[in-house]
Amino acid sequence: MTQPLRSELTRYLRTETVGGAILLVAAAVAVLWVNSPLGPVYERLRDFTVGPEALHLHLTVGTWAQDGLLAVFFFVAGLELKRELVIGELADRKKALLPVIAACGGVLLPALIAAAVGWGTPGMDRGWAIPVATDIAFALGVLALTGSRIPTGARVFLLSLAVVDDLIGIALIAVLFTTSIAALWLLGTVACAAAYWYAQHRRITTPWLYVPLALLTWYGMHEAGIHATIAGVVLGLLTRVRADPGERRAPAERLAHDIQPWSAGLCVPLFALFASGVPIDGEVLADVFTSPVGLSVLLGLLIGKTVGIFGASWLAIRVGVATRPAGLAWADLLALAVLGGIGFTVSLLIADLSLADIDGGAPAEIAKASVLVTSLIASLLGSTLLLRRGRAHRSHYESTGGVDK
């Protein structure tokens, strides 16, 4: 491949519309593949183990995609969040509070609905946590594909909200599914992260220091018993975002520019390919809409997320503890709240952790099918609302003679 062609490819991969389309295609391929006559090939590939056993890294390909590749995406998301918190729209305290409060509402209400609907069902003593998290990659992908005419504050709000509730979801995994945390490994992880921060503070730029520190932080998190992808967010938040005098770009901007194409074009699509392969037939689809497990996930994501995110946002703005993002109407926030019902990464993980050992894993398959079906419904509803809002914003723009909202 020639250099100009490589440059053009990376430029396209930095476009969220393209990244979102690749992600959605990868998920669709996984569902079709696992439900085709070649389904056993998919399962053998996903469950194939590789890695050094002495380091406790003899993991399946699916686990490597989930814990390893997805950490790259979380790192890029952490870089963007840090930039917004320091020099972007979230630098304002009231603007920063809104997505945090919205995320808390979007975690609490889905959990309550899932717990109530699934009450007494085996495995739902922990399965109530399945609908708590919004999938960052899918939600931003749909927003990029259908919300191009929505003000840029929408993306910042959704990114911040999704990061916060994914972190809450990962914290719940640590509390509900970790029998013990290895304190020494956790201390080692903190030490590596602190060394990364100090190197940033001292303006050290060599990758020969940062790459080993990043790998050790990830490995320490993995060995400590905490979901390893959180290492990506931690390091992203510790990266410097202000450029020094004479410095062309700050490290956060430079890293995001270099790593984003790999995240969008390889890491996240491969994760989606190995995480979305859920066998779906007529019986499973019926259970999604009739069984307590299926309904708890469906109602938790679709109703709980929408009402929880929008309701918490409305309340926070009305009482004055937060401000609405510039240019966003209440209808825009409602559309984003619907996108919050796209639960994928953490939801599928919690479904496996909480239900895989119940009745031979049948409830886990129902829960994962419900996550996929509900995410599709939320994507379609959210896209419809975003397209309508896009037309409204365009009409306003044209009626004011090109003066944006």
Three-state secondary structure call for residue 356: coil
Distance CA 241, CA 78 (A): 11
The band of 284, judged by pLDDT with boundaries at 50, 70 and 90, is confident
The band of 402, judged by pLDDT with boundaries at 50, 70 and 90, is low
Q: Determine, yes or no, domain membership for 404.
A: no
Most confident of 88-92, 173-177, 386-390: 386-390
Q: What is the pLDDT of residue 405?
A: 46
Number of other residues whose CB lies within 10 A of the CB of residue 388 = 12
Q: Determine, yes or no, domain membership for 396.
A: no
Same domain, 334 and 219: no
More confident residue, 178 or 392: 392
Contact present, 384 and 288 (Cβ < 8 Å)? no
Contact present, 284 and 369 (Cβ < 8 Å)? yes
Same domain, 343 and 295: yes
* DSSP letters spanning 81-123: HHHHHHTSGGGSHHHHHHHHHHHHHHHHHHHHHHHHHTTTSTT
Distance CA 24, CA 142 (A): 9
Of the residues 162, 191, 226, the one at which a domain ends: 226
Same domain, 131 and 255: yes
Amino acid in the structure at residue 121: T
Q: Within 13 Å, how many C-alpha atoms sit on residue 51's CB side?
A: 16
Contact present, 70 and 267 (Cβ < 8 Å)? yes
Residue 213 lies in domain: 179-226
**Residue 268: closest CA among 5, 13, 9:** 13
Distance CA 23, CA 349 (A): 18
Q: Determine, yes or no, domain membership for 79.
A: yes
Q: Determine, yes or no, domain membership for 96.
A: yes
Same domain, 110 and 205: no
Please check the confidence at residue 12 and state whether its pLDDT lies above 60: no
> CB-based contacts of 358: which residues, under 8 Å, 6+ apart?
122, 123, 364
Of the residues 192, 226, 260, the one at which a domain ends: 226
Same domain, 276 and 138: yes
Same domain, 164 and 185: no
> CB-based contacts of 347: which residues, under 8 Å, 6+ apart?
130, 131, 132, 133, 135, 169, 297, 301, 371
The helix (H) or strand (E) run that includes residue 369 is helix 362-399
Of the residues 193, 226, 259, the one at which a domain ends: 226
Q: Phi first, then psi: what are they for 280, rounded to 5°? A: -130, 120
Q: Determine, yes or no, domain membership for 330.
A: yes
Q: Determine, yes or no, domain membership for 398.
A: no
The CATH number of whichever domain residue 157 belongs to comes to 1.20.1530.10
Distance CA 102, CA 91 (A): 17
Same domain, 52 and 188: no
Same domain, 320 and 380: yes
Same domain, 206 and 91: no
Q: Provide the β-strand partners of residue 59.
A: 50
Contact present, 115 and 128 (Cβ < 8 Å)? yes
Q: Determine, yes or no, domain membership for 377.
A: yes
Helices then strands (H, E): number in the chain?
A: 20, 2
**Residue 131: closest CA among 145, 144, 147, 118:** 118
Distance CA 329, CA 369 (A): 33
Lookup result for tokens 């090109």: 402
> CB-based contacts of 180: which residues, under 8 Å, 6+ apart?
225
Q: What is the DSSP letter of 131?
A: G
Same domain, 305 and 172: yes
Distance CA 48, CA 46 (A): 6
Same domain, 165 and 190: no
Q: How many domains does the chain have?
A: 2
pLDDT in tens, 146-200: 877 788 788 888 888 887 887 788 778 778 877 677 889 999 999 999 999 999 9
CA-derived radius of gyration, the chain: 21
The band of 268, judged by pLDDT with boundaries at 50, 70 and 90, is confident
pLDDT in tens, 321-354: 988 887 889 999 999 999 999 987 788 878 888 8
Q: What is the DSSP letter of 150?
A: S
* DSSP letters spanning 210-221: HHHHHHHHHHHH
The band of 393, judged by pLDDT with boundaries at 50, 70 and 90, is confident
Q: Determine, yes or no, domain membership for 399.
A: no
Contact present, 239 and 79 (Cβ < 8 Å)? yes
More confident residue, 389 or 141: 389
Same domain, 110 and 200: no
pLDDT > 70: percent of the chain? 92
